[in-house]
Structure 1
């Protein structure tokens, strides 16, 4: 069953020249519009679903489209962002399409009925090698034959070019993406599933230990679906001295977004603003 978590619309900022984004994960579908001239986000929707209760992804996409105000319209530009864990970032010089499947099989194990792709970012000379269930790709192409595809990890990687050092946690409902930056270089980008606040603390503290970073002095920036009154956040600030909210660069959100904390939207917009 698909549930709508957010529906934010700024009709006064819509110009008709919006880029349409569609982020797809194992438990969510997010859509938003960004004005191509001003880079202002004019609308955003987030839908969540239980993958075990909704195993057919084409049905999830169909149900989302039935209730979405954004997806009902025709969009000449459709950018699909895969948000799943089966992705590797490699130097562009080491990316070869003919061995992409072997890269992924070594790290994540073999997968049946998967679509393997690669995408290179020229400026950072980095490539993302990733795979998604073939049924996901087929469902999207059926709905948006003009879609182009990229992976969340590569967009996040490109957004950390100038950060000096710190840990960044982007929270979704039952998982988070952890990014480690040390000496102005991204050292780790990995997705962790969690059920309790203790799970999150373990992953963060263990990561600090593995990368020789003092958790008492390392900045930890959080964003996404995390409530500052939740037990998760309370546990984090109890054990991590330098916890703060991550933010978005510039004034890129329309007026309707002021009713919600900005940090909710950072995981979605950080790669596209």
Structure 2
């Protein structure tokens, strides 16, 4: 039986008047109902996946969440999976996608190669064929985007900064300094010590001071063993609190640092 990890929806809003963001990863799938003009989130349902997404599983989601069958004003599917490569636009040659990904660990058969881009780079990524087919039948006009491309659309800071985004034992680690992105990395983790190791390794790799700002977003509780360990060893640890998008009043039980993981990507696809 599939049960959402997070769920809220404003039933006063007609889904057909709104936009939809789909979050896709091998370990989770989420659906965000939002209005980019008003910068409001009106619904979110997030499922943890224990098997690869296919048409049967997506049908189970729509049976429980009938609003997902609406004719949305637009649908964007953000893929969070790790097999991708970034190519500077001047060096990208159309038709070379498969050859470029062959050097990336984790390349699989029965996957579809997709691409999106910023002003400077082309991001080539793979999506499981079963998931691609399932989404294409439910959302035939959907646009695909990779999570890292959305991050790259944001201006990096001048001061050194590390951001962690945590989803279901999956860690997304971003580092920025001197107006440049230094690192975009995804790691699986099992223990709090795994997360701490990757953060400290990032600091050492780029020669960042102990006082560097480390922000955390996503699925982490401030009373958890993970947060307490990070707070013990990281001098300047800060849960991200600032939001561009508004959320319904009845979502106060979801902390802002969890909402901010949605906020980041919504501001990029709006």
TM normalised by structure 1 equals: 0.90
Aligned length: 267
Give yes or no for the alignment of 1:245 onto 2:239. yes
Counterpart of 1:101 in 2: which secondary structure?
A: helix
1:260 shift after superposition: 1.9
1:114 corresponds to: 111
Counterparts of 2:239 and 2:158 in 1: how far apart (Å)? 15
Answer whether contact 1:28 1:48 (CA < 8 A) is retained. Answer: yes
CA spacing shift, 1:16–1:111, aligned 2, 3 Å:
closer
Counterpart of 1:2 in 2: which secondary structure?
A: coil
In terms of mean alpha carbon deviation, does 17-26 or 258-267 score higher? 258-267
Superimposed CA distance per residue, residues 97-152 of structure 1 (whole angstroms, 9 cap, x where no aligned partner)? 31121221112254211111111223xx2221111111111111121111111111
Answer whether contact 2:17 2:72 (CA < 8 A) is retained. Answer: no
CA spacing shift, 1:110–1:226, aligned 2, 3 Å:
closer
1:60 corresponds to: 57
Counterparts of 2:57 and 2:151 in 1: how far apart (Å)? 26
Answer whether contact 1:114 1:131 (CA < 8 A) is retained. Answer: yes
Answer whether contact 1:7 1:44 (CA < 8 A) is retained. Answer: yes
2:190 corresponds to: 195
Counterparts of 2:83 and 2:238 in 1: how far apart (Å)? 28
2:135 corresponds to: 140
CA spacing shift, 1:96–1:266, aligned 2, 3 Å:
farther
Gaps of 5+ in 1: none
Counterparts of 1:108 and 1:163 in 2: how far apart (Å)? 31
1:253 shift after superposition: 2.1
Counterparts of 2:133 and 2:229 in 1: how far apart (Å)? 41
1:267 aligns with one of 261, 265, 270: 261
Give yes or no for the alignment of 1:31 onto 2:31. yes
Q: Which runs of 4+ in 1 moved over 4 A?
A: 12-16
1:102 corresponds to: 99
1:180 shift after superposition: 0.6
Answer whether contact 1:9 1:256 (CA < 8 A) is retained. Answer: no
In terms of mean alpha carbon deviation, does 257-266 or 190-199 score higher? 257-266
1:185 shift after superposition: 1.0
1:15 shift after superposition: 8.0
1:47 corresponds to: 47
Answer whether contact 1:219 1:243 (CA < 8 A) is retained. Answer: yes
1:184 shift after superposition: 1.9
Counterpart of 1:177 in 2: which secondary structure?
A: strand
Answer whether contact 1:105 1:111 (CA < 8 A) is retained. Answer: no
Counterparts of 2:266 and 2:124 in 1: how far apart (Å)? 20
